[in-house]
Amino acid sequence: MPSANKVTMQHFLDEFAAERDADEHAVMVLDGAGWHDARGLDVPANMTLVALPAYSPELNPVERLWLYLKERFLSHRLLDDYDAILEAACKAWNNLTTEPGRVKSLCSYDWITEVKH
């Protein structure tokens, strides 16, 4: 989506939750972005949102994922427009998904397995 706000976040949560199996519960780790504030969201019953402390990128698993994508697929490039950015990001993500276990190896932190819902 071309914008990040509470409306798009709600849409994402709803779609993500709908894709989970009936016996599956997802825990989503969120940073302090304004649209991540659970008070303004209708969090689906099969999800738990875990807010990270402020100013703690070292605790955020997605930061390591973004770093990997930037280093491997997105750095040192000048892209002409929004469509080119979207295409490059999609291509980078698709390349990442061909590497079994890569997301888990990048985003696994000991503390994540300790989170209870």
The domain spans of the chain are 1-51, 55-117
Which residue in 89, 6, 80 sits closest to 49, CA to CA? Answer: 6
Confidence check: pLDDT of 92 > 90: yes
Range with the largest mean pLDDT of 51-55, 73-77, 104-108: 73-77
* CA atoms within 13 Å, Cβ hemisphere of 18: 6
Using pLDDT thresholds of 50, 70 and 90, give the confidence band for residue 52. confident
Over range 66-78, report the average pLDDT. 91
Burial 14-32, CB ≥16 within 10 A → b, else e: eeebeeeeeeeeeeebbbe
Model pTM above 0.95 = no
What does the pLDDT average to over 49-65?
Answer: 84
Alpha helices in the chain (DSSP H): 6-18, 61-69, 82-96, 102-107
Whole-number pLDDT of residue 95 = 94
